[in-house]
Structure 1
Amino acid sequence: MGRGFNLLELTIIIAMLSILLLMAIPSFDAITSRIKIKRLASELNSFLVQAKSEAVTRNQKLYAHFSFNSTSSVSSGSWYIQLTDSASSTGNQLLYFSGTPFSEIEVSHSYNPAYITFDQVRGRPNGGTINFYFVNDTVNKLRAVMANPPGRIKICATSGDAYDYPPCS
Protein backbone atom coordinates (compact mmCIF):
# COMPACT_ATOMS: atom_id res chain seq x y z
CA MET A 1 0.00 0.00 0.00
CA GLY A 2 1.39 3.42 -1.05
CA ARG A 3 1.89 6.34 1.27
CA GLY A 4 0.84 9.96 0.67
CA PHE A 5 -1.84 11.53 -1.51
CA ASN A 6 -2.87 10.32 -4.88
CA LEU A 7 -3.94 12.70 -7.62
CA LEU A 8 -7.68 12.29 -6.95
CA GLU A 9 -7.34 13.10 -3.24
CA LEU A 10 -5.19 16.14 -3.99
CA THR A 11 -7.74 17.42 -6.53
CA ILE A 12 -10.59 17.04 -4.03
CA ILE A 13 -8.67 18.90 -1.31
CA ILE A 14 -7.79 21.76 -3.67
CA ALA A 15 -11.44 22.01 -4.79
CA MET A 16 -12.65 22.15 -1.17
CA LEU A 17 -10.10 24.83 -0.25
CA SER A 18 -11.11 26.86 -3.31
CA ILE A 19 -14.77 26.74 -2.28
CA LEU A 20 -13.90 27.85 1.26
CA LEU A 21 -11.84 30.76 -0.04
CA LEU A 22 -14.61 31.86 -2.41
CA MET A 23 -17.04 31.95 0.51
CA ALA A 24 -14.63 34.06 2.59
CA ILE A 25 -13.93 36.75 -0.05
CA PRO A 26 -17.27 38.62 0.37
CA SER A 27 -16.66 38.97 4.10
CA PHE A 28 -13.25 40.52 3.39
CA ASP A 29 -14.96 43.07 1.12
CA ALA A 30 -17.37 43.97 3.92
CA ILE A 31 -14.49 44.41 6.35
CA THR A 32 -12.52 46.68 4.01
CA SER A 33 -15.64 48.75 3.28
CA ARG A 34 -16.31 49.14 7.00
CA ILE A 35 -12.73 50.24 7.61
CA LYS A 36 -12.90 52.71 4.70
CA ILE A 37 -15.99 54.56 5.93
CA LYS A 38 -14.76 54.59 9.54
CA ARG A 39 -11.48 56.03 8.29
CA LEU A 40 -13.36 58.79 6.44
CA ALA A 41 -15.32 59.60 9.62
CA SER A 42 -12.15 59.73 11.71
CA GLU A 43 -10.11 61.79 9.23
CA LEU A 44 -12.98 64.22 8.60
CA ASN A 45 -13.44 64.71 12.34
CA SER A 46 -9.68 65.29 12.76
CA PHE A 47 -9.67 67.84 9.91
CA LEU A 48 -12.56 69.78 11.47
CA VAL A 49 -11.01 69.73 14.96
CA GLN A 50 -7.71 70.95 13.54
CA ALA A 51 -9.55 73.72 11.66
CA LYS A 52 -11.11 74.83 14.97
CA SER A 53 -7.67 74.89 16.59
CA GLU A 54 -6.15 76.84 13.69
CA ALA A 55 -8.85 79.52 13.96
CA VAL A 56 -8.15 79.99 17.68
CA THR A 57 -4.36 79.83 17.27
CA ARG A 58 -4.37 82.44 14.50
CA ASN A 59 -7.12 84.48 16.19
CA GLN A 60 -8.69 84.71 12.75
CA LYS A 61 -11.98 83.61 11.20
CA LEU A 62 -11.26 80.65 8.88
CA TYR A 63 -13.28 79.01 6.11
CA ALA A 64 -13.43 75.34 5.08
CA HIS A 65 -14.49 75.35 1.41
CA PHE A 66 -16.14 72.33 -0.22
CA SER A 67 -15.33 71.57 -3.86
CA PHE A 68 -19.05 70.94 -4.49
CA ASN A 69 -22.21 72.80 -3.48
CA SER A 70 -24.98 71.74 -1.10
CA THR A 71 -27.45 70.84 -3.85
CA SER A 72 -25.25 68.02 -5.15
CA SER A 73 -23.37 65.05 -3.79
CA VAL A 74 -20.22 63.34 -5.03
CA SER A 75 -19.11 59.71 -4.98
CA SER A 76 -16.17 59.65 -7.37
CA GLY A 77 -13.56 60.61 -4.80
CA SER A 78 -12.77 63.77 -6.78
CA TRP A 79 -13.90 66.09 -3.97
CA TYR A 80 -11.92 68.01 -1.37
CA ILE A 81 -12.26 70.45 1.51
CA GLN A 82 -9.70 73.21 1.88
CA LEU A 83 -9.26 75.52 4.84
CA THR A 84 -8.48 79.11 3.87
CA ASP A 85 -8.30 82.48 5.58
CA SER A 86 -10.82 84.02 3.17
CA ALA A 87 -14.51 83.64 2.28
CA SER A 88 -13.19 83.11 -1.24
CA SER A 89 -11.76 79.67 -2.00
CA THR A 90 -8.76 81.41 -3.60
CA GLY A 91 -7.53 82.61 -0.20
CA ASN A 92 -4.37 81.39 1.51
CA GLN A 93 -4.72 77.59 1.84
CA LEU A 94 -3.93 76.36 5.37
CA LEU A 95 -5.20 72.75 5.34
CA TYR A 96 -6.38 70.37 2.63
CA PHE A 97 -8.57 67.26 2.96
CA SER A 98 -8.72 65.08 -0.15
CA GLY A 99 -11.60 62.73 -0.94
CA THR A 100 -9.51 60.69 -3.39
CA PRO A 101 -9.04 57.66 -1.09
CA PHE A 102 -12.80 57.55 -0.47
CA SER A 103 -14.23 56.71 -3.89
CA GLU A 104 -17.53 54.78 -3.79
CA ILE A 105 -18.59 56.82 -0.75
CA GLU A 106 -21.34 59.37 -1.45
CA VAL A 107 -20.68 62.70 0.31
CA SER A 108 -23.06 65.66 0.67
CA HIS A 109 -23.32 68.70 2.95
CA SER A 110 -25.87 71.28 4.07
CA TYR A 111 -23.72 74.42 3.88
CA ASN A 112 -24.87 77.26 1.65
CA PRO A 113 -22.62 78.94 0.57
CA ALA A 114 -20.35 75.92 0.26
CA TYR A 115 -18.10 76.58 3.24
CA ILE A 116 -17.93 76.17 7.01
CA THR A 117 -16.82 79.18 9.04
CA PHE A 118 -14.75 78.82 12.22
CA ASP A 119 -14.97 81.58 14.83
CA GLN A 120 -11.63 83.13 15.80
CA VAL A 121 -12.36 83.29 19.56
CA ARG A 122 -13.54 79.76 20.36
CA GLY A 123 -13.19 78.05 16.99
CA ARG A 124 -16.91 77.35 16.79
CA PRO A 125 -18.05 76.16 13.37
CA ASN A 126 -21.35 77.40 11.99
CA GLY A 127 -24.08 74.77 12.27
CA GLY A 128 -24.59 72.19 9.56
CA THR A 129 -24.05 68.59 8.53
CA ILE A 130 -21.89 66.45 6.26
CA ASN A 131 -23.48 63.14 5.24
CA PHE A 132 -21.62 60.13 3.85
CA TYR A 133 -22.45 56.54 2.95
CA PHE A 134 -21.51 53.84 0.46
CA VAL A 135 -23.26 54.22 -2.88
CA ASN A 136 -24.46 50.60 -2.72
CA ASP A 137 -25.69 50.89 0.91
CA THR A 138 -28.09 53.79 1.40
CA VAL A 139 -29.36 52.45 4.74
CA ASN A 140 -26.19 52.78 6.83
CA LYS A 141 -25.43 56.50 6.63
CA LEU A 142 -23.07 58.50 8.81
CA ARG A 143 -23.29 62.21 9.53
CA ALA A 144 -20.84 64.77 10.87
CA VAL A 145 -22.87 67.30 12.86
CA MET A 146 -21.49 70.73 13.73
CA ALA A 147 -23.60 72.31 16.46
CA ASN A 148 -23.32 76.01 17.21
CA PRO A 149 -23.39 76.63 20.14
CA PRO A 150 -21.46 74.86 21.70
CA GLY A 151 -19.29 74.25 18.61
CA ARG A 152 -19.14 70.51 19.11
CA ILE A 153 -18.33 68.22 16.18
CA LYS A 154 -20.03 64.84 16.41
CA ILE A 155 -20.08 61.79 14.12
CA CYS A 156 -23.29 59.76 14.35
CA ALA A 157 -25.43 57.28 12.39
CA THR A 158 -28.60 58.59 10.74
CA SER A 159 -30.50 55.32 11.17
CA GLY A 160 -29.79 53.01 14.06
CA ASP A 161 -26.30 52.06 15.13
CA ALA A 162 -24.20 51.97 11.94
CA TYR A 163 -20.45 51.26 11.87
CA ASP A 164 -20.24 51.40 15.70
CA TYR A 165 -21.37 55.05 15.79
CA PRO A 166 -24.32 56.05 18.00
CA PRO A 167 -27.57 57.20 16.39
CA CYS A 168 -28.00 60.93 15.80
CA SER A 169 -30.34 62.46 18.34
Structure 2
Amino acid sequence: MTRGFTLLELLITVLVLSILIVAAAPSFSSVTETVKMQRLAGELNGFLIQAKSESVNRNQDLWVHFSMEKNTVQSTGEWTVWLKPTEDLSGETLLVLSGKPFRDVSFSHNYTGERISFESVRGRPSRGTIYLFPNGTSNDRLLIKLSSPPGRIKVCGESSAQYGYDAC
Protein backbone atom coordinates (compact mmCIF):
# COMPACT_ATOMS: atom_id res chain seq x y z
CA MET A 1 0.00 0.00 0.00
CA THR A 2 1.51 3.37 -1.06
CA ARG A 3 1.27 6.46 1.04
CA GLY A 4 0.79 9.99 -0.24
CA PHE A 5 -1.68 12.15 -2.03
CA THR A 6 -2.98 11.82 -5.53
CA LEU A 7 -2.68 14.66 -7.99
CA LEU A 8 -6.44 15.17 -7.85
CA GLU A 9 -6.39 15.57 -4.05
CA LEU A 10 -3.59 18.14 -4.29
CA LEU A 11 -5.41 20.12 -6.98
CA ILE A 12 -8.61 20.23 -4.93
CA THR A 13 -6.65 21.41 -1.85
CA VAL A 14 -4.92 24.16 -3.83
CA LEU A 15 -8.24 25.24 -5.35
CA VAL A 16 -9.94 25.47 -1.93
CA LEU A 17 -7.00 27.46 -0.49
CA SER A 18 -7.03 29.82 -3.47
CA ILE A 19 -10.75 30.52 -3.01
CA LEU A 20 -10.20 31.26 0.70
CA ILE A 21 -7.32 33.65 -0.05
CA VAL A 22 -9.32 35.52 -2.71
CA ALA A 23 -12.24 35.88 -0.30
CA ALA A 24 -9.97 37.21 2.48
CA ALA A 25 -7.99 39.71 0.33
CA PRO A 26 -10.43 42.66 0.66
CA SER A 27 -10.36 42.44 4.45
CA PHE A 28 -6.54 42.51 4.39
CA SER A 29 -6.55 45.74 2.38
CA SER A 30 -9.02 47.25 4.85
CA VAL A 31 -6.76 46.31 7.76
CA THR A 32 -3.74 47.78 5.96
CA GLU A 33 -5.63 51.04 5.34
CA THR A 34 -6.66 51.25 8.99
CA VAL A 35 -3.12 50.66 10.22
CA LYS A 36 -1.69 53.33 7.88
CA MET A 37 -4.29 55.89 8.98
CA GLN A 38 -3.70 55.15 12.67
CA ARG A 39 0.07 55.26 12.22
CA LEU A 40 0.05 58.60 10.35
CA ALA A 41 -2.36 60.16 12.86
CA GLY A 42 -0.15 58.97 15.71
CA GLU A 43 3.04 60.19 14.03
CA LEU A 44 1.62 63.65 13.29
CA ASN A 45 0.08 63.94 16.75
CA GLY A 46 3.40 63.01 18.34
CA PHE A 47 5.27 65.42 16.07
CA LEU A 48 2.98 68.30 17.07
CA ILE A 49 3.14 67.46 20.77
CA GLN A 50 6.92 67.33 20.56
CA ALA A 51 6.93 70.71 18.78
CA LYS A 52 4.78 72.16 21.56
CA SER A 53 7.06 70.74 24.25
CA GLU A 54 10.17 71.91 22.43
CA SER A 55 8.89 75.50 22.22
CA VAL A 56 8.24 75.54 25.98
CA ASN A 57 11.55 73.84 26.76
CA ARG A 58 13.53 76.32 24.64
CA ASN A 59 11.34 79.25 25.72
CA GLN A 60 11.26 80.20 22.05
CA ASP A 61 8.59 80.52 19.36
CA LEU A 62 8.82 77.62 16.91
CA TRP A 63 7.11 76.93 13.57
CA VAL A 64 5.98 73.76 11.88
CA HIS A 65 6.24 74.21 8.10
CA PHE A 66 4.32 72.24 5.46
CA SER A 67 5.73 71.53 2.00
CA MET A 68 2.35 72.19 0.34
CA GLU A 69 -0.06 75.10 0.26
CA LYS A 70 -3.26 75.53 2.25
CA ASN A 71 -6.15 73.23 1.20
CA THR A 72 -3.97 71.36 -1.31
CA VAL A 73 -4.52 67.61 -1.09
CA GLN A 74 -1.31 65.61 -1.35
CA SER A 75 -2.02 61.94 -2.09
CA THR A 76 1.32 60.59 -3.32
CA GLY A 77 3.31 60.86 -0.08
CA GLU A 78 5.46 63.64 -1.55
CA TRP A 79 5.02 65.95 1.44
CA THR A 80 7.26 66.91 4.33
CA VAL A 81 6.72 68.66 7.64
CA TRP A 82 9.58 70.50 9.37
CA LEU A 83 9.96 72.03 12.82
CA LYS A 84 12.13 75.15 12.66
CA PRO A 85 12.95 78.09 14.95
CA THR A 86 12.25 80.58 12.14
CA GLU A 87 9.10 81.77 10.35
CA ASP A 88 10.63 80.92 6.99
CA LEU A 89 12.41 77.75 5.93
CA SER A 90 15.85 79.09 6.79
CA GLY A 91 17.62 78.06 9.97
CA GLU A 92 18.28 74.69 11.48
CA THR A 93 15.76 71.86 11.25
CA LEU A 94 14.77 70.52 14.65
CA LEU A 95 12.40 67.74 13.50
CA VAL A 96 11.30 66.30 10.15
CA LEU A 97 8.36 64.08 9.20
CA SER A 98 8.22 62.67 5.67
CA GLY A 99 5.09 61.46 3.90
CA LYS A 100 6.89 58.77 1.87
CA PRO A 101 5.76 55.86 4.12
CA PHE A 102 2.16 57.08 3.77
CA ARG A 103 1.70 57.06 -0.02
CA ASP A 104 -1.85 55.65 0.24
CA VAL A 105 -3.08 58.38 2.59
CA SER A 106 -4.16 61.85 1.46
CA PHE A 107 -2.96 64.79 3.54
CA SER A 108 -4.00 68.46 3.63
CA HIS A 109 -4.18 71.40 6.05
CA ASN A 110 -5.89 74.78 6.39
CA TYR A 111 -2.98 76.90 7.67
CA THR A 112 -2.34 80.20 5.95
CA GLY A 113 1.34 80.65 5.16
CA GLU A 114 1.88 76.87 5.24
CA ARG A 115 2.98 76.94 8.90
CA ILE A 116 1.82 76.45 12.48
CA SER A 117 3.29 78.66 15.17
CA PHE A 118 3.89 77.50 18.74
CA GLU A 119 4.29 80.27 21.33
CA SER A 120 7.27 80.14 23.65
CA VAL A 121 5.77 80.39 27.14
CA ARG A 122 2.83 77.96 27.01
CA GLY A 123 3.47 76.25 23.69
CA ARG A 124 0.05 77.18 22.36
CA PRO A 125 -0.30 76.35 18.67
CA SER A 126 -2.02 78.54 16.13
CA ARG A 127 -5.57 77.35 15.47
CA GLY A 128 -6.22 75.07 12.49
CA THR A 129 -6.85 71.57 11.23
CA ILE A 130 -4.89 68.85 9.43
CA TYR A 131 -6.95 66.39 7.35
CA LEU A 132 -6.07 62.73 6.72
CA PHE A 133 -8.05 60.28 4.61
CA PRO A 134 -7.42 57.17 2.50
CA ASN A 135 -6.79 57.84 -1.19
CA GLY A 136 -10.01 57.60 -3.16
CA THR A 137 -12.39 58.32 -0.26
CA SER A 138 -12.91 61.54 1.60
CA ASN A 139 -15.72 60.19 3.78
CA ASP A 140 -13.47 58.55 6.38
CA ARG A 141 -11.47 61.64 7.33
CA LEU A 142 -9.43 61.94 10.47
CA LEU A 143 -8.82 65.46 11.75
CA ILE A 144 -5.95 66.71 13.83
CA LYS A 145 -7.37 69.83 15.44
CA LEU A 146 -5.16 72.40 17.09
CA SER A 147 -7.06 74.83 19.28
CA SER A 148 -5.99 78.02 20.91
CA PRO A 149 -6.39 79.25 23.64
CA PRO A 150 -6.38 76.00 25.47
CA GLY A 151 -3.56 74.75 23.24
CA ARG A 152 -5.03 71.28 22.73
CA ILE A 153 -3.97 68.92 19.98
CA LYS A 154 -6.71 66.38 19.28
CA VAL A 155 -7.11 63.55 16.78
CA CYS A 156 -10.73 62.68 15.95
CA GLY A 157 -13.03 61.34 13.25
CA GLU A 158 -14.75 64.07 11.26
CA SER A 159 -18.36 62.89 11.44
CA SER A 160 -18.16 59.69 13.49
CA ALA A 161 -15.65 57.52 15.31
CA GLN A 162 -12.97 56.56 12.76
CA TYR A 163 -9.93 54.28 12.92
CA GLY A 164 -10.11 53.98 16.71
CA TYR A 165 -10.52 57.72 17.36
CA ASP A 166 -13.69 59.31 18.76
CA ALA A 167 -15.82 61.70 16.73
CA CYS A 168 -14.96 65.41 16.97
1:14 and 2:25 equivalent? Answer: no
Match of 1:161 in 2: 161
Give me the identity figure in percent. 45
How far apart, in 1, do the equivalents of 2:73 and 2:92 lie? 26
1:129 CA displacement: 0.3
How far apart, in 1, do the equivalents of 2:71 and 2:41 lie? 21
Match of 1:90 in 2: 90
Q: Secondary structure at the match of 1:138?
A: coil
- Aligned AA for 2:161? D
How far apart, in 2, do the equivalents of 1:151 and 1:111 lie? 16
What residue ranges of structure 1 are gaps of 5+ in the alignment? Answer: none
What residue ranges of structure 2 are gaps of 5+ in the alignment? Answer: none
1:5 CA displacement: 2.6
- RMSD, aligned α-carbons: 1.2
Match of 1:147 in 2: 147
How far apart, in 2, do the equivalents of 1:13 and 1:93 lie? 57
Q: Secondary structure at the match of 1:93?
A: coil
Match of 1:58 in 2: 58
Instruction: Tell me the TM-score normalized by structure 2.
Output: 0.95
Moved more, 30-39 or 5-14: 5-14
- Aligned AA for 1:116? I
Q: Secondary structure at the match of 1:68?
A: coil
How far apart, in 2, do the equivalents of 1:79 and 1:2 lie? 63
1:139 CA displacement: 1.1
- Aligned AA for 1:74? Q
Q: Deviations over 1:125-148 (max 9, x none)?
A: 010000010112221100000010
Q: Deviations over 1:53-110 (max 9, x none)?
A: 1101110000000001103121110101101111111222111111111112111111
Q: Deviations over 1:15-67 (max 9, x none)?
A: 11111111112211111111011000000000000000110111000000000
Please list, as runs of the form range in 1=range in 2, the aligned pairs for 1:7-156 lying within 5 A after superposition: 7-156=7-156
1:2 CA displacement: 5.9
- Aligned AA for 1:99? G
Q: Secondary structure at the match of 1:113?
A: helix
